[in-house]
Structure 1
Amino acid sequence: MGPVLSSLLSGTIDLKFAPQDGGSLTRQIYDRLRTAILSGALPRGYRLPSSRVLAEDFAVSRNTVSTVIDQLAVEGYIVVARGRRPVVAAVEKMQLVSGDQSLDHEPSGFMRVSRWARQVTRSDWHFTNEGGSPRPFAPGLADAREFPHEVWARCLRRAARSRHAAGIRANHPALRAALLSHLVEHRGVKADARRLIITSSAQAAIELISRVLLNEGDPAWIESPGYGGARVALEATGARVKGVTLDRSGLRLAGRTDRPRLIFCTPSHQYPTGRLMPIKRRQELLAFAAEAGAAIIEDDYDSEFHFDGRPVVALQGIDTASNVFYVGTFSKPMLPDIRVGYAIVPDGLVETFERMQRHTGQMVMGAMQLALAEFIGDGDFAAHIRRMTRIYRGRRDRLTHALASAAGSKLAITPPAGGMQLLARLEPGSDDCRLVADLAKVGVTARPLSRHFTGKTAEHGLFLGFAAWNEAEIDAGAELIGKTIARNLRGR
């Protein structure tokens, strides 16, 4: 080995290293030589020792060294000629960063993020379970302990063996037929199976609809307070998103003279207030959209769970102008890990959505679609919903009473008529973001109401899920909320 290479590699490559120590022998030698070339330690024109000499010095086989030399030559780091030792090629110097290190400087100018990306980073958007069991009271989580795992596993096994499940197939006819039958019976929708677009999540469906309908600068409305994920999807198109305030019936339409291109709403269980949009306001909204030429995205995210009588018929079911795009999900009524959503789109746009679906990769594995079709078709889906509705009703009542006992008048709660979460409003002057941060320190997850507003913040409170936790867990979590609120009040 020459003096330059010897001094360079001395102490950096253990000549007695084993494959498990930092990767294979081939990879370790390759990395060291490549780094030496890029750093300039092995300068342009430097002639490497022969493969026989390198193999002896590294205490490895000659084949291992030859493999490294061949790879470096293919990638242009060295030049190899028959009968001559390899020579370092003309390569610009650069400093490599190992995979477990991060850059200690800001990205260069061309790596700046878009205005939309900067808005997303300021939104209240976070994962509810970053490893381990979810903490109470993360909204929107079903209780995996109560799910019929054996039944679902049977559906998955059969689907995986089916010849109809090969690869990724968009909008499987079996799932379309089974899902439509369920939605007609339980949600009152009006459509044919061809109009069902199966996506990787409800969020993906909202984004797909927004991309199809909106151009940059188009006006779009969202409820305020409302679902932040919808705001992110609308803003990604470059639309001008406006938050529309609510009254007790939902979107406040009276006196508005502006005309949106698209309206996003959650009429069955308003997100996050839980309010139900009554039939009169629904009719007003449909008439307004028809007159304005606006489309409506109806997010029916958890309306399967209705505690007083049957679930309310979907807005799409009474739409006569084909303006409503109906969106739903399986992750709420089933399991968070089942990332499948869907949308019912107007008949004239089916082909457009199917093309967009393919070009944006919004497709679900055929086996998953077949498993869902069987789970629905055999009645297991409806049976699970009926059972969980009874359980969730009890948990809603339990959390309502536990919070009243732990926090008293410091929280104002109106129990929702359905769904998987509730809203607990704080006294005027409270800081819900600070309270949420303090709750996280004691193991309680909540979302601040103030972050759900688009534009001016009008209220503060805690958005709390109750579906995924049993009575003992609800009592313990509510007690922590009460104690944390008391500490915050003393600290003012």
Structure 2
Amino acid sequence: MISALIALRRVDEEGLVAQLTGQLRALIATGRLGKGLALPSSRRLASDLGVSRNTVTYAFEQLAAEGYLEASHGRRPVVTVDGGERGDGTGAVASSARSARPQLSPWASKLKQTDWPMSYQAPLKPLRPGHGDFREFPNEIWARCLRRSAMRAARRELGPVNRMRLREALAHYLATSRGVRATAEQILILPSAQAALTLIAAVLISPRDDVWVEDPGYPGAAAAFRASGARVTGMRLDEQGMQRTPGMAPPKLIFMTPSHQHPTGRLMSLARRTEFLRSSRPGKTWIVEDDYDGEFHYDSRPVPALQGVDAHGRVFYVGTFSKAMTSDIRLGYLVVPPALVGTLEIAQRHIGLIAASHVQEALAEFVADGHFLAHLRRMRRLYHARRDHLVEGLERHLGDVLSVEIPSGGIQLVARLKRGRADQAAVKRLVEAGVETRALSSLALGRPRDHGLLLGFAAWRENEISAALRTMASCF
């Protein structure tokens, strides 16, 4: 009978987990499911509700972590609280809190309408895009750097929020590897690349300012600029990435991923980069260059960063360590145009976008001692082979339904559907079968023009990629 008390709306898989968790929590809090009641097994409830078993399992695990259920392997979960234990003893608080509609800000009211942050389940499944292989990271070396940094912390005086040792190491690395021209003082250390976009938007964007982004593109950028009230316009792509539309007045800000366009992986030519710089008015039009995985380039020498070509201080350069190292290291960085360094530093502290100092010091040691470059050299060879293995497998197993766009670098690729537009339905079916991809249409700013799959290859060994391809072939 429990399934009759639950009504799920068919959205993405993450949405089903959140809905089921919330509805079971409410049924317990209001006393509809009493203390000591044994719930159905995850297999039985999944069958009754018509969802995957993982959906029910994740909901049970979350409620057990919150103290609503007692769950152990091989046994049905049991309700552990009386209705009202989470309220005033009668369940009235839980019921009224559920029915009351909180008054949110205009920004918060629109959060559920965006596709950011991206909805994925845990644990990581093949071929989820956007991830490197954390299993290949030199954790023992990193642990030693962290340990030494923590031991030195007691002797360090309270210092700046952006540690100079890391800024100097980064300035040297970016100059030699990416052609970035910046002093150490221009580099801000942040909790993530997304934090850098949030900071830029807070400082530069006023309501109704025009912002251009790539379409399809990185949804986190559109979300950050819309949060500041910008009018975000999606710019079409060609083989060189973002295009300018003739006759359009230059906007306040342009966001682009020129090294490996997200999601297609296309490389913007030097001529196209120069065209954007030439049309940008110094002090009035700013460019944000997101080089999220520029460390990984396979087929030719990487094109230097757009920031290094800019002679008028118009370009922000954004980077992250989560792709090159491991996503657990929540550090990004921002190279700021000289005229805005002081303002951005104040805004960084005002908003609280500050990275832990001991992690900064450990990373400075990791970079300065050569461990970072050694890790990158090894990962480039590994990821290059994995890209080629995925491309060859897609052409062999799925060449009749998918057309592969081979990126010159990066950690993911796009495979377009040759027939039909049901990429979101395909993604749902693949997730149920154990392969996690991203629908290309979901990355469009407006009406989708392309339909296909965004597939990650960096995080997966070749035998894992082969198994995932066999699953995909059977699904299609």
Map of 2:141 onto structure 1: 151
* SS of corresponding position for 1:325: strand
Q: Is residue 359 from structure 1 mapped to residue 350 from structure 2 by the alignment?
A: yes
CA positional deviation for 1:456: 2.3
Q: Supply the distance in 2 between the matched residues of 1:397 and 1:376 (Cα, whole angstroms).
A: 29
Offset, 1:346: 1.1
Distance 2:364 2:117 in 1: 31
Identity rate of aligned residues, in percent? 45
Corresponding position: 1:96 with 2:86: no
Q: CA deviation at 1:384?
A: 0.5
Q: Paired residue for 2:286?
A: 295
Q: Distance in 1 between matches of 2:233 and 2:187?
A: 29
Q: Is 2:306 the counterpart of 1:323?
A: no
Secondary structure of the residue that 2:301 maps to in structure 1?
A: coil
Q: What's the secondary structure of 2:319's corresponding residue?
A: strand
Q: Distance in 2 between matches of 1:114 and 1:104?
A: 19
Structure 1's 169 and 138: CA in aligned 2 closer, same or farther, altered over 3 A?
farther
Take 1:362 and 1:435, find their aligned partners in 2: how far apart are those partners?
A: 38
Matching residue of 2:413:
422
Task: Give me the whole-angstrom Cα distance separating, in 2, the residues matched to 1:157 and 1:455.
Answer: 48
Deviations 1:173-218 (A, max 9, x none): 0100011111011010001000001100000001101111100111
SS of alignment partner, residue 413 of structure 1: strand
User: Counterpart in 2 of 1:107?
Assistant: 100
1:288-320 Cα deviation digits (max 9, x unpaired): 113793100000000100002332210000001
Give the number of the structure whose alpha-carbon radius of gyration is greater: 1
- Say yes or no: does 1:337 pair with 2:344: no
2:126 maps to 136
Q: CA deviation at 1:241?
A: 0.5
Q: Larger deviation: 409-418 or 122-131?
A: 122-131
- What residue identity is the alignment partner of 1:451? S
- With over 3 angstroms needed to count, the CA separation of the structure-2 counterparts of 1:169 and 1:287, relative to structure 1, is same
3-state SS of 2:277 partner:
helix
| Distance verdict in 2 for CA 1:461–1:237, change over 3 Å | same
**Structure 1 pair 103/130, CA: closer, same or farther in 2 (3 Å)?**
farther
2:461, 2:245 → 1: CA distance? 43
User: Is contact 1:169-1:363 (8 Å) kept?
Assistant: no
Which residue does 1:232 correspond to in 2?
Answer: 223
Which 5+ residue runs of structure 2 have no aligned equivalent? Answer: 1-33, 35-66, 69-80
Q: CA deviation at 1:229?
A: 0.5
Q: Matches of residues 371-382 of structure 1 in structure 2 within 5 Å?
A: 371-382=362-373
Distance 1:168 1:186 in 2: 28
Of 163, 175, 178, 2:169 maps to 178
Ranges in structure 1 where 5+ consecutive residues have no aligned partner: 1-11, 13-20, 23-27, 40-93, 486-492
Are the structure 2 counterparts of residues 175 and 288 from structure 1 closer, same or farther at C-alpha, using a change threshold of 3 Å? same
Specify the code of the residue in structure 1 equivalent to 2:232.
Answer: V
Secondary structure of the residue aligned to 1:409 is: coil
Closer, same or farther: CA 291–106 of 1 in aligned 2, 3 Å: same
User: Compared with structure 1, are the counterparts of its residues 254 and 243 closer, same or farther at alpha carbon in structure 2 (3 Å cutoff)?
Assistant: closer
Cα deviations across residues 392-444 of structure 1 (Å, max 9, x unaligned)?
00000011111112212211112110000000011242211111111110111
Contact 1:403–1:479 (8 Å) recurs in 2: no
More displaced stretch, 307-316 vs 389-398: 307-316
What is the letter of the counterpart of residue 294 of structure 1?
T
Paired residue for 1:477, among 450, 468, 472?
Answer: 468
1:384 to 345, 365, 375: 375
Q: How does 1:52-67 map to 2 (within 5 A)?
A: none
Q: Does 1:402 align with 2:393?
A: yes
| Maintained 8 Å contact 1:260/1:292 | no
Which residue of structure 1 aligns with residue 13 of structure 2?
none
Q: TM-score scaled by structure 2?
A: 0.79
Deviation at 1:157, TM superposition (A): 0.6
Superposition deviation, residue 261 in structure 1: 0.3
Q: Which moved more, 1:191-200 or 1:256-265?
A: 256-265
Per-residue deviation, residues 338-377 of structure 1 (Å, max 9, x unmatched): 1100100011211111111111110011110001000000
CA apart distance, 1:116: 3.5
User: Are residues 201 and 291 of structure 1, via their aligned partners in 2, closer, same or farther at CA, if it must alter by over 3 Å?
Assistant: closer
Residues 147, 104 of structure 1: alpha-carbon distance in 2 compared, 3 angstrom cutoff? same
1:455 CA displacement: 1.6
Contact 1:199 1:364 in 2 (8 A): yes
Q: Is the 8 A contact 1:137 1:477 kept in 2?
A: yes
The amino acid of 2:92's aligned partner reads Q
- Quote the residue 2:203 is aligned against: 212
Which amino acid in the other structure matches residue 159 of structure 1? S
Deviations 1:434-490 (A, max 9, x none): 1111111011111111111112210101001100010110001111122222xxxxx
Deviations 1:266-298 (A, max 9, x none): 000000010000010000011111379310000
Gap change, CA 1:222 and 1:368, over 3 Å in 2: same
User: Structure 1 residues 289-298 or 336-345, which shifts more?
Assistant: 289-298
- Give the structure 1 partner of residue 455 of structure 2: 464
Q: Secondary structure at the match of 1:162?
A: helix
CA distance in 1 between partners of 2:440 and 2:103 (Å): 31
Check whether the contact 2:116–2:223 (CA below 8 A) recurs between aligned residues.
Answer: no
Assess if the C-alpha contact under 8 Å between 1:168 and 1:364 holds in 2.
no
Instruction: Report deviation, 1:105.
Output: 3.9
TM-score, normalising length from structure 1? 0.76
Q: CA deviation at 1:142?
A: 1.1
8 Å contact from structure 1 (residues 167, 365) kept in 2: no
CA RMSD of aligned residues (A): 2.5
> Which residue identity does 2:342 align to in structure 1?
E
Tell me what 1:75 maps to.
none
Residue type matched to 1:96 in 2?
V
